[in-house]
Amino acid sequence: MTFALVFLICLALGVPIFATLGVPSLIELLTSPIPLESLAHSLFDGVDKFPLLAIPNFVLAGAIMSRAGITRDIISVMRTIVGGAYGGLAIVTILSCMFFAAISGSGPGTVAAIGTLLIPAMKDDGYPTDFAASVASSGGTLGILLPPSNPMIVYGVLASVSIGDLFLAGLLPGILMGALLVGTTYFLSRRNGYRGAVREFVWREFLIALWQAKFSLATPFIVLGGIYGGIYTPVEASVIAVVYALLVGVVIKRTIGIKSTWAALSEASTVCGGLIVIMGTAIFFGEFLALNLIPQKIAASLLTVTSDPILMLLMICAILIVLGTFMETLSTVIILTPILLPLVKQLGIDPIHFGVLLVVTSEIGFLTPPLGVNLFVACGISGLKIEEISRRVLPFIGTIIVGLLVLLFFPQISLILLSFK
């Protein structure tokens, strides 16, 4: 009882997530016969996970690539393809986010990299600023669904499932979600007459842009192709991503130097330093959940409502969407995986499919205040208030929910590629 009460109080007060996880566990430890030394062991075990090495490397690779001009190359190619359609530049934003997501593994990072260039470009092309910011925010959500996804790596570690399988399972759902967002963007643009300078598709322009961007566009194929082809593991792929990013930025394009590389290292260390602390306390937290049989008690309570797998997933997704409004994505994954995973396994739900649904519900959290990280990044770029963007992002939230329901009712979309391994 004390454990749950302290945990809820910490959540309500907005205590940093590592303390929210650690304080109730520490209090429980001090009042139990378990030796205090177990805390040190748990903290060490929490970060002594080889797959976690992939996260700082993928974050670093994305930071280097955004500084190396790779983002501009991606945008220039996408613009030659759909730049003249209704909502052309907005569609370019979604497609560019999809491509950059296959490099960065981060939602806010994708918004920052693509939005910094395309939100001002859309404004100059006559698009309303709030619409431009909402499109960039929504496209950025794909950063955690398309591989390599940082939340999927964390989930894979906690759930003891293959990260390579999770990456493969996220590929088709990511493409589906991207297509739905493109369709929503086109519909809203056509209805409101959003269209920049009309231009025809010109093969010569496309081929020139494709050739100029060849090294940049090769990045996700080198990284993900090696993983799916069984050539190297996700951790090895993350190292290759860093080396390739430096090769392109320093040797081929010559767009970054020591200062830019140092800034990328600082960004990666800032992002990942906090994650390491959280992961240590998360393992500690999970042990006390198991000690108090909390997952079993929660499972028993939910099973009194329904034992139907589909209805249970609908209920869990609704809970996750609500929690996502005030909990950061990695925190949601870290806290809820040890609680919900035993339940979904008990109902015969594939843990990889559940991991995909968990990530998709987290996408919605990126777009919902008061936390809405993607919205805050877009606010910083566009100069708008969060209330202005929040209104315009509602159709995109509806689109992601539709995609979530499709994935929930048709798990084959997530799992079909695994059958070809």
**Is 23 part of a structural domain of the chain?**
no
**Is 409 part of a structural domain of the chain?**
yes
CA–CA distance, 390 with 133 (Å, rounded to integer) = 10
**Is 24 part of a structural domain of the chain?**
no
Q: Give the pair of three-digit tokens for residue 6.
A: 């302290």
In our burial notation (b when 16+ CB lie closer than 10 A, e otherwise), range 334-349 reads bbbbbebbbbbeebeb
- Predicted confidence at residue 401, as pLDDT, reads 96
Is residue 235 a contact partner of residue 58, using CB atoms and an 8 Å limit? no
**Is 33 part of a structural domain of the chain?**
no
Distance of alpha carbon 88 from its chain centroid, rounded?
A: 25
> Which string of DSSP letters, residue by residue, matches 35-75?
-THHHHHHHHHHH--GGGGHHHHHHHHHHHHHHTTHHHHHH
- Predicted confidence at residue 8, as pLDDT, reads 77
Q: Report angle CA 57, 220, 181 to the nearest 5 degrees.
A: 105
Distance of alpha carbon 332 from its chain centroid, rounded?
A: 12
**Is 407 part of a structural domain of the chain?**
yes
Whether the link from the prior residue into 338 is cis, omega within 30° of 0, is no
> Which string of DSSP letters, residue by residue, matches 155-193?
HHHHHT--HHHHHHHHHHHHHHHHHHHHHHHHHHHHHHT
**Is 344 part of a structural domain of the chain?**
yes
What is the full per-residue pLDDT of the chain (421 aa) written as tens digits?
676 787 778 777 777 767 777 787 777 777 777 777 776 776 776 667 777 788 888 888 888 887 888 878 888 888 887 766 788 889 989 998 898 887 777 788 888 888 888 898 888 888 899 999 999 999 999 988 998 888 899 899 889 899 999 999 999 999 999 999 999 999 999 898 887 665 677 888 889 988 988 988 888 888 888 888 888 888 888 899 899 989 988 888 888 888 888 988 887 887 677 667 776 777 777 767 767 777 677 777 888 888 899 999 999 999 888 877 777 787 788 888 888 888 899 899 999 999 999 999 988 988 987 677 888 888 888 988 888 898 999 999 999 999 999 999 999 999 999 988 6
**Would you give the DSSP letter of residue 372?**
-
CA–CA distance, 243 with 413 (Å, rounded to integer) = 33
- C-alpha distance from residue 277 to each of 119, 189, 334, 417 (Å): 34, 44, 12, 34
Residue of 15, 318, 163, 402 lying closest to 26 (CA atoms): 15
- Predicted confidence at residue 310, as pLDDT, reads 93
Domain count, the chain: 1
pTM of the predicted model as reported, rounded to 2 decimal places: 0.83
**Is 395 part of a structural domain of the chain?**
yes
- Predicted confidence at residue 198, as pLDDT, reads 56
**Would you give the DSSP letter of residue 367?**
T
- Predicted confidence at residue 275, as pLDDT, reads 67
CA–CA distance, 375 with 390 (Å, rounded to integer) = 7
Calculate the dihedral angle through the C-alpha atoms of 380, 324, 103, 399, rounding to the nearest 10 degrees: -90
Domain containing 114 equals: 40-420
- Predicted confidence at residue 408, as pLDDT, reads 96
**Is 129 part of a structural domain of the chain?**
yes
Q: Give the pair of three-digit tokens for residue 409.
A: 């009712």
